[in-house]
């Protein structure tokens, strides 16, 4: 759907990379190898985004690091569109809100890194009914046409696993109030 509105595949990849998880940052050569595209095509799009104020940059040695400008007035709107494009909004609406005692849900894997993927990887923290979760996941997979993989943790167990909680690619999707 998004590819009919935005015809540049490079632009879509950059939007996903920087706006789905605003903690992501990258430099040109890194993006070239990740996307498998020419550095010139990526550079042109990066420059357009930076000129529009959607991306910020800073020098890190000889590398120009890019990051989403989360203070831009369109930041939340772009992020919302990407949540719909990837199906993450449906996961929140159809699964998480109906599970009961959920404390947090994190997006991990390729989508957490800002790379489009047919698989959505989640960490679900809380005391949940796993058979009910399986039913909700099956229904949601049909709705969004993507595979959903998940790991569940009890709250105490999750917070003792430092390698899980400290990853920059873990995108907090939902948190209980």
pLDDT score for 162? 59
Residue-level pLDDT at 1: 66
| pLDDT value of residue 19 | 96
**8 Å CB contact between 100 and 131:** no
pLDDT value at position 49?
97
Q: What is the mean pLDDT of each run of 10 residues along the chain (177 residues)?
A: 83 95 94 94 97 97 96 96 92 83 92 92 92 92 94 88 67 87
pLDDT computed for residue 60 by the predictor = 94
CA trace torsion 50, 63, 6, 108 (10° rounding): -120
The pTM score is 0.85
The owner of tokens 């990407």 is 82
Model pLDDT, residue 94: 81
Residue 92: the pLDDT is: 87
| Contacts of 128 by beta carbon, 8 Å cutoff, 6+ apart | 99, 100, 101, 102, 152
Closest C-alpha among 40, 36, 27 to residue 116: 36
Q: What kind and span of H or E run contains 155?
A: helix 155-160
Q: Check residue 170 and give its pLDDT.
A: 84
Per the CB < 8 A criterion, the answer to whether 143 and 75 are in contact is no
């Amino acid at each position: 759907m998004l590819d009919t509105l935005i015809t540049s595949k490079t632009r879509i990849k950059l939007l996903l990379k920087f706006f789905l998880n605003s903690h992501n940052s990258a430099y040109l050569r890194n993006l070239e190898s990740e996307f498998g595209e020419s550095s010139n095509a990526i550079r042109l799009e990066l420059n357009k985004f930076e000129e529009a104020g959607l991306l910020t940059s800073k020098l890190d040695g000889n590398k120009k690091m890019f990051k989403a400008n989360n203070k831009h007035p369109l930041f939340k709107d772009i992020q919302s569109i990407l949540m719909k494009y990837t199906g993450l909004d449906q996961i929140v609406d159809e699964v998480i809100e109906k599970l009961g005692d959920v404390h947090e849900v994190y997006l991990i894997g390729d989508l957490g890194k800002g790379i489009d993927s047919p698989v959505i990887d989640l960490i679900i923290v809380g005391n949940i009914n796993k058979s009910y979760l399986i039913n909700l996941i099956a229904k949601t997979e049909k709705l969004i046409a993507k595979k959903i993989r998940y790991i569940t943790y009890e709250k105490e167990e999750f917070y003792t696993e430092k390698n899980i909680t400290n990853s920059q690619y873990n995108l907090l999707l939902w948190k209980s109030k």
